Amino acid sequence: MTTTTPDLDELKRRANRLRLYGLLSRWDELCSHAWVAELIELEDAERRRRSHQYRIRAANIGDFKPIVDFDWKHPTKVDRKQIEMLFDLGFLAEHENIVIVGPNGLGKSMIAQNLAHQAVLRGISVRYVSTSDMLNELAAVDGSARKHRIKRYVNPKLLAIDEVGYLSYDSRHADLLYEVVRQRYDAGRSIVLTTNKAFGDWNQVFDSAACIVTLVDRLTHRSEIVELDGESYRAKEAQLRAKLRREQRRTPKSR
């Protein structure tokens, strides 16, 4: 049986990357031992595992259904090929935003959560947040504290903002959303955003805020729009449950 000799230069580079300084201080003495390669491999694997777990926690995606469970037949308007192509994450390299527009209950959040999760699996920094949570958090602080807090939403390579349009906000909240969008635009970092409102209706969501036109311009300048239409999944499920209960009430109980 043949054995392969480990590439000592590559092992040393990995040890440096892992900051195994105790081992490196005695490298010439220890590098030829078989356990050195095993140690570096174990440490490398554990660092990757812990890094992945950290990215999952930091992303804050929450519980979600996998995209394979998406009911493509339910929406009356959906471009399956367009959505599936997003999962190669090419939009990140192109510094593009993805805006998912459609009525409530059609799976916009499900698509956004799966895109965010796919990015995490590829080692990309992600933050997933509802519009209300982000804007209320930023509005609660001022000055340098706010600048520091905004970085939480500017620094990740991908930011997913869910549910724009479900609640109404004042012009101060609009300015905060604009600031996040502007800084990410200037940094060339992508946003995945879901909304149940057409862009023409955003001035109603943000109480006719002066920055809305500029905000939408920044958001859509480099973007792909995903449009959904149809009846809410949740409304459909509620109707099915109501129908089942009616049928159960009509069915005579056996004695």
Q: Are 30 and 4 contacting, i.e. CB atoms less than 8 angstroms apart? A: no
What is the structure's pLDDT at 46?
82
Grade residue 1 by pLDDT with cuts at 50, 70 and 90. Answer: very low
Q: Are 124 and 158 contacting, i.e. CB atoms less than 8 angstroms apart? A: yes
Domain positions in the chain? 71-235
Give the span between the Cα atoms of 255 and 238, in whole angstroms.
30
Q: Are 130 and 195 contacting, i.e. CB atoms less than 8 angstroms apart? A: no
How confident is the prediction for the chain on average, in pLDDT?
Answer: 90
What is the structure's pLDDT at 56?
81
- Domain 71-235: CATH superfamily, name plus number: P-loop containing nucleotide triphosphate hydrolases (3.40.50.300)
Strands 97-101 and 190-195: parallel
Closest CA to 63 of 125, 123, 117: 117
What is the structure's pLDDT at 3?
47
Q: What angle do CA 133, 140, 61 make, to 5 degrees?
A: 20
pTM above 0.85, yes or no: no
